[in-house]
Amino acid sequence: MKKIAFIGGGTMGTALASAACRGNDPADVVVTDVVAEKAQKLAQALGCTAVATNSEAVEAAKFVVFCVKPQFLDGVLAEVKDTFAACAARGEKKVIVSIVAGIEVAHYQEMLQLDGKNVSVIRTLPNTACKIGKGFILIEEGKGLSYTEEDEAELMQLLREAGGFETLPATMFVAGSVLTSTSPAFIAMFANSLADAGVYNGLLRPQARRLALQGILCATQLFLSEDKHLEAFKDDVCSPAGPAMIGVKSLEDSGFRSSVINAVVDAYRRFAEMKNVK
Ligand SMILES: NC(=O)c1ccc[n+]([C@@H]2O[C@H](COP(=O)([O-])OP(=O)(O)OC[C@H]3O[C@@H](n4cnc5c(N)ncnc54)[C@H](OP(=O)(O)O)[C@@H]3O)[C@@H](O)[C@H]2O)c1
């Protein structure tokens, strides 16, 4: 039996399958997609195996990662339900890994009628940087409930090349997920705004892009290196009547902080609604 299968070969399926293939023998990794050519192309690029149907992916591997959009999940679960039951009847252990935003463990258990079957469910939320090994995967605490300590350890081993992991209690999982999974979108907008400003001030676009990203990278590495309040790093840069302090005032005049806070609060609200997405 293969180790891990990915259902859906889009942005996140590609990111996680890439990480799995870096950390394991690609022969142990399976991908599938509703568009067969997409799965075949991905498998070819990673050296792993493409299968034609979602049921074949479930049959093929112990860990099955659902990487489809929330609105397609129920259709996929209905399609693979009998396969999970057949595998359980043969005594095969399966571990379902969800990355689907807003969908709770109970939803998989109800849709697949997993009561008493040999199937674990681990709810996670990765981000796009897993593709290059710099990502972050949040895991919802569920040891002894929906999965075992060994399941979690094995998953972290299989996906170790994706980046870091953190396990959060169920009560905090959505708040954590929103920060790690939506922030790449906000940071891309922020970075491009910095680059636009660089171009406005006379830089060429490639220089402005490179320097804006370098500024974010250098700052982030510094912030992670010291355990002090983030505002203190701002104070380190803002000399009296200096350019950085003038810029800080401009940002405050434009409602920078409240815009960012509102974006994250709105995203959190949307996550909570998504379990009702059909
Ligand atoms: N993108 C992120 O930053 C991010 C972060 C964390 C979690 N997530 C979660 O990850 C999941 C996937 O997101 P994504 O951004 O990777 O979406 P995506 O790029 O649209 O990828 C989903 C893939 O699944 C395929 N698919 C659709 N229906 C299918 C079916 N019935 N059977 C098999 N494959 C099917 C899609 O094919 P078509 O394109 O032909 O429809 C597509 O290739 C979502 O549930 C999302 O909540 C995403």
* Site to substitute for ligand 1 among 7, 11, 173, most atoms within 8 A of C-beta: 11
Residue nearest to atom 5 of ligand 1 (CA): 127
CB 62 within 8 A of CB 93: yes
Mean pLDDT throughout 50-70?
97
Residue 1 pLDDT greater than 70, yes or no: yes
77-81, 162-166, 273-277: least confident range: 273-277
What is the atom index within ligand 1 of the atom nearest the CA of 76? Answer: 31
Domains 2-168 and 178-276 share a fold: no
Mean pLDDT throughout 168-189?
94
Domain boundaries, the chain: 2-168, 178-276
Output the CA torsion sign for 101, 103, 108, 111.
negative
Which residues line ligand 1 at a C-beta cut-off of 6 Å? 7-13, 33-35, 38, 54, 67-70, 72, 75-76, 99-101, 125-128, 181
DSSP class of residue 129 equals G
Tell me which CATH homologous superfamily contains domain 178-276. ProC C-terminal domain-like (1.10.3730.10)
State how far the Cα of 45 lies from the Cα of 65, in Å rounded to an integer.
Answer: 19
State how far the Cα of 29 lies from the Cα of 117, in Å rounded to an integer.
Answer: 24
**Token pair 């905090």 in the structure block, residue:** 172
pLDDT at res. 271: 87
pLDDT at res. 277: 54
CA of 260 to the centre of ligand 1 (A): 26
CA of 187 to the centre of ligand 1 (A): 21
State how far the Cα of 63 lies from the Cα of 195, in Å rounded to an integer.
Answer: 42
* Site to substitute for ligand 1 among 31, 54, 68, 98, most atoms within 8 A of C-beta: 68
Residue nearest to atom 39 of ligand 1 (CA): 10
CB 29 within 8 A of CB 51: no
**Residue 85 Cα distances to 29, 90, 222, angstroms:** 22, 9, 50
Mean pLDDT throughout 4-18?
97
113-117, 141-145, 261-265: least confident range: 113-117
Interior angle at CA 164, CA 276 and CA 221, nearest 5: 115
Tell me which CATH homologous superfamily contains domain 2-168. NAD(P)-binding Rossmann-like Domain (3.40.50.720)
